[in-house]
Every structure is written in C-alpha cells, then in structure tokens.
Amino acid sequence: MEVYLARQPIFNRVKEIFGYELLFRDGLSNAFPDIDGDQASSNVLSNSFFCMGIDQITGGKKSFVNFTQELLLQKMPLLFPRENLIVEVLENVLPTEATILACREITTAGYQLALDDFIYDPALEPLIAMAGIIKVDIRLTPAEKAQDILNKLSAHSVKFLAEKVETYEEYEKYLEMGFDYFQGYFFSKPQVLKAQDISPSKISLLQIMAEVNREEMQFSTVETLISRDVSVSFKLLRYINSPYYSRGQEISSIRQAIMRLGEAGIRRFIPIILMSAFADNKPHELIRASVIRARFCELLCENTKTRLRSPELFTLGLFSLIDAIMDEQMDHLIDKLPFSADIRNALVSNTGEMADFLNLVRAYETGEWAAVSRIAETIGMDNDRIPMLYWDAVVWADTLTASA
C-alpha cells in the first residue's frame, strides 16, 4: 500500500526549522475528512518510523504527529522514540480521568505533548500543565483571543505555536505577540514587494544559467564561466567530491567535475547554486522547498506521457518560489531571467500544461489530496507512483542543499 505523506514546516522565532508536522493519507481514495483517525495516525507512525525512517523524513528535526483519544488511551506514543516525536493531542480529545492518566504516563516517559487547535477551557488545565507546546490556529482564533490565551497561560512553562501563518506580516505580528513557533507557508511568499538590483556577482550566475539552459549547451563555455566564479567553483568541487556523489577518485578540476556530472547534472546543479546565492538572507527551508519542487516536477515529467522536457520542468519547480526569494512580484522578476515562454506562462499566469505539474506539486506539499488526485488524472500520472516520487525528491533535495 502506498503512503501519502507530506510534511509542513514549523519554524522557531528566527525562522530556523524546528520540526515538521506530518500530513498523512493511506491513499488518494481515502483522502477525505471521514477517514478513521486511529487508522491514519497508526499508519503514519508505522510508515514514518519503521518503513521510511523518520530521520529521512524530517532531517533529524522534531516530527509532530496527531493522536486521537483512543490512541492516547492505548499509549501508542510509547512504541516510538521520544527524541523526535511530539505527541499532538487533537482538539476533540476529552480530558477524562483515563486520558489524563495516559498523558501523564506518556510525558513521564519523556515525550512532549502539543495541544492542537487550542481553545481555552478550564477542564483542559490538567493537560495544559503537562503540555510543552500549545498550538493556536490563527484562522480560527482572532488575534485578540490569541493574546488572551498567552496572557492567561503565562504562568505555565509552555511554548506557543501559531498555525496557518500565511504571510510575513502575520509572522511578525504573532512574533511580537510572544509566540515561539510558526507553522505555515509565510516563508514562501514575498516579504516586501519591491524592485531589487541584481549584484554583479549574481549577474555572472545568471550568465552561467543562461548557458546551461541552452538547448545545445557548450561545455567549454560553461567551464570558462564557472572557472571565473570562485564561489561556484568551490561548491561544484565540494559537491562532486561529497560521499553522495564521489566514486573514490578525488576530482580537482572544473573540467573533470563538469564531465563527471554530465549535461543533466550541470543543468540541475547550477540553478540550485544560483538560488542559494539569491536566498542568502532567507530561511534555508525556502531553498529546500524549491529543490524538492524541482526534482518532483522532473520526476513527474519522466513518469507521464507528455511533450514537455524534464529539464524545463525542473527549472519551473526550482524557480516557482523566486518571488519570495527576491521579494519581488513574479511578473516583474521573470523578465530578468532566461526562461522559455512555457515557464513564464506557468509562473506568471498559472497557465499552460506546465502549470498542471506545478499545481500538483503544490497540492501535495500542503496535503490537498483530492486536488492531487484530480490533477494527476489530468496529466496522466499514476496515483500509486506519486508518494515514491515525492520522497525521492525530498531525499535528493536534502542531500543537494547540503552542498549548495
């Protein structure tokens, strides 16, 4: 059985990754609200910790997993390592005596509780006293009520997490309010819409990318351009000699590195270096998300019967967050980049065949499983292969961004 598992980032106050909430379905046929919660949580735990490997999924960060009342009563969290697991107590869990006793045993064993979609009720005080994190859905709880929750619970040694933070303005507002963690896709939106000049060093990167994007790429020209840029040269040699890619013999020249990577490898590597340079003041998760999208789009292309070329879909996914990286509107920014009309249409107006691939990727990463199923049918993608392709993209991206 294929496991549909996506991860949603959770940041600390300085926009570093604290952990991921794991979003789960056991297949697109069950991607609806009436799926049995006990089954869903049991499956996500067994597949995350036993099958896929939790470190591979979360990169060693904390994993937030929902637990129903029944699973808490069964003390299911005790079956899994406490180092990485944060036990999310769902909002519909009743604070019965049995539930409180089970949660006390779980926390005594060293596990951390997070109370999900929190709304204050005096009956929750025993759970509040045990909780390490309280999650507040800012779409359901107005800012004034959220501030009241913080004030009321200030005496407790608990941290507060704002859920569904979608803009930088919201992040800054709840940061000032006193929240400790932030969950949502605010990091993937432009912070301030403004025009930015591109520095000379970044212009040289654009020249390299323009060359590797040519249909008939000239290796000698690419070698010359890379050799002129010390930063790119260093990162290329570090990557080609990394344990992930090395074949035993150290490579010390740009020419050797280019030949070892080959045309496909160069077309992937150079744009990622470019993105890293542009995003030097942004959360690293933004680059990771861009690379995951790039690889995921590429793999989807290779597994469908489409006229589109996988290198172009790789570029599409990689630059789908360039507006957030550059803090500029996409339609203004795209004129500065050497892209085809198909990529431009997909990024600016969300039109054309390429847009379907990007929309499937976006739906998957947010756990919109019904949309995933619908778009997969449109592009002729086999549903059962999608989870494997996504996790291939995650592992590949985590390896590559460590070198970029």
- Mean pLDDT lowest for which of 86-100, 143-157, 182-196, 245-259? 182-196
Nearest to 403 by CA among 258, 244, 292: 244
What pLDDT does residue 25 have?
A: 65
Give the H or E element holding residue 182: strand 181-183
Q: When comparing pLDDT for 293 and 27, which is higher?
A: 293
Mean pLDDT of the chain: 84
Q: When comparing pLDDT for 245 and 230, which is higher?
A: 230
- Percent of the chain topping pLDDT 90: 42
User: Which long-range CB contacts under 8 A does 23-28 form with residues at least 24 apart?
Assistant: 23/366, 23/367, 25/367, 25/369, 26/1, 27/1, 27/2, 27/383, 28/4, 28/369, 28/370, 28/372, 28/373, 28/376, 28/383
In this predicted structure, the answer to whether residue 143 has a pLDDT above a threshold of 90 is: yes
Residues 60-76 have pLDDT tens digits of 789 898 888 888 998 98
Nearest to 240 by CA among 222, 231, 253, 228: 253
Among the ranges 48-52, 74-78, 266-270, 395-399, which has the highest mean pLDDT value?
74-78
Say if CB 81 and CB 74 are below 8 A apart: no
What pLDDT does residue 37 have?
A: 56
Q: 4-188 in CATH: which number?
A: 3.20.20.450
Amino acid (one-letter) located at 301: C
Amino acid (one-letter) located at 379: I
Given pLDDT bands bounded at 50, 70 and 90, which one contains residue 371?
very high
- Mean pLDDT lowest for which of 127-136, 151-160, 291-300, 330-339? 330-339
Does domain 200-401 match CATH 1.10.3210.10? yes
Residues 360 and 353: their CA atoms lie apart, in Å, by: 12
Q: Interhelix angle for 219-227 vs 254-278, to 10°?
A: 60
What pLDDT does residue 389 have?
A: 93
Residues 346 and 340: their CA atoms lie apart, in Å, by: 10
Given pLDDT bands bounded at 50, 70 and 90, which one contains residue 160?
very high
Residues 272 and 280: their CA atoms lie apart, in Å, by: 12
- Mean pLDDT lowest for which of 66-75, 113-122, 278-287? 278-287
Dihedral sign for Cα atoms in the order 255, 260, 263, 268: negative
Parse the chain into domains and list their residue ranges.
4-188, 200-401
Q: What is the pTM of this model?
A: 0.79
Given pLDDT bands bounded at 50, 70 and 90, which one contains residue 103?
very high
> Burial level of 91, CB count in 10 A (0-12/13-18/19+)?
middle
Residues 25 and 14: their CA atoms lie apart, in Å, by: 31
Per DSSP, what are the bridge partners of residue 183?
Answer: 10
Which two tokens mark 30? 């069950």
What pLDDT does residue 46 have?
A: 63
